[in-house]
Amino acid sequence: MNDVITIGDAMIAFNPSKTGPMKFVPSFTKNIGGAELNVAIGCARLGLEAGWISRLGDDEFGKYIRNFARGEGIDTSQVDFEKGHPTSLNFKEIMEDGSVRTFYYREKSPTATMKPDELSEEYFKQAKILHITGIFPGVAEQNLELTRKAIELAKQYGLTVSFDPNIRLKLWSKEEISEVSISFLPDVDILLAGVEEMEVIFGESDQEKIIEACAPYDIEHIVLKQGENGAVGYHNNQLVDAEAVLPTNVVDTVGAGDGFDAGYLYGYLNGWSLERSLNFANTIGSMVIGVVGDNEGLPYLEDVQMKLGEIERIER
């Protein structure tokens, strides 16, 4: 049984060989990106059983991504190759302060070939959490219907639904994002969102007003990610403000939110308190931004435990 399954588009992420404006970067290195796959990788490295539903181009990049996912221990039984739809790409621009701009090339995403009736009910029966994001529905028009079907199956078979809006304004408008995100909320059990994202969705940036706006949807866990200001969690009428964990160094902020999500889901599955789950997730986020790449910085469980001072690693 998979602890966490997710559905989404993966990409070859080309990371620049040096910082600065992309037009002056002479070369790039080939890596792998995609928020949903990143969460699956993060969960797997923490020791959870993770599965990923997707389509990849029937090309060398697609084969590379699937082999990489397999190597991370992710169940790729629901990943197929599609001819005529090249594997999605993105190029990153990283500035000296670690800020990032991303340039997408995913107009003919292989995931656009997926159909709702192709989702395996048996696969959903054998899982505990479905993690979705607001990226996948924005990649291709058909993906919205597919996401709704995934949510329907999750609720039918008693899965917990985790949702990270993960807003990408290069994919669709604020109005579309708000409408679709709000339509998901009645079925969401765990909301993992940035405060700025909730401002797009609800027009509110105050944490108490955001929680109040979420009240009609009866969301069990509301988590507001605030980057360098930590995170706020709301569960069972309890509000916890967790301080940020200071990173050793900031070199690439991409993937920090995905690592946070994986950490929080780990705490949820282990029945941890809200405070402990938030601290664990914040710790992972701080570790991710110290490494260049979308998922290269996602830590293994013992790395997080060592960072938290729970275990001691003997180096020699």
Q: Which residues are catalytic?
A: 258
Spatial contact of 222 and 211, defined as CB atoms under 8 Å apart: yes
Map tokens 């998901």 to a residue.
184
Task: Decide: helix, strand or coil at residue 18.
Answer: coil
Strands 100-105 and 88-94 come out as antiparallel
Task: Decide: helix, strand or coil at residue 61.
Answer: helix
Q: CA 226 to CA 282: how far, in whole Å?
A: 10
Give the closest residue to 134 by CA, choosing from 192, 56, 80.
Answer: 192
Give start and end residues of each alpha helix (H) in the chain.
35-45, 60-71, 121-125, 136-139, 142-156, 174-184, 195-202, 207-214, 256-269, 274-288, 301-307
| 156 burial level (CB within 10 Å; 0-12, 13-18, 19+) | exposed
> In DSSP terms, which residues pair with 102 in a beta bridge?
92
What is the residue type of 198?
Answer: M
Q: CA 89 to CA 106: how far, in whole Å?
A: 6
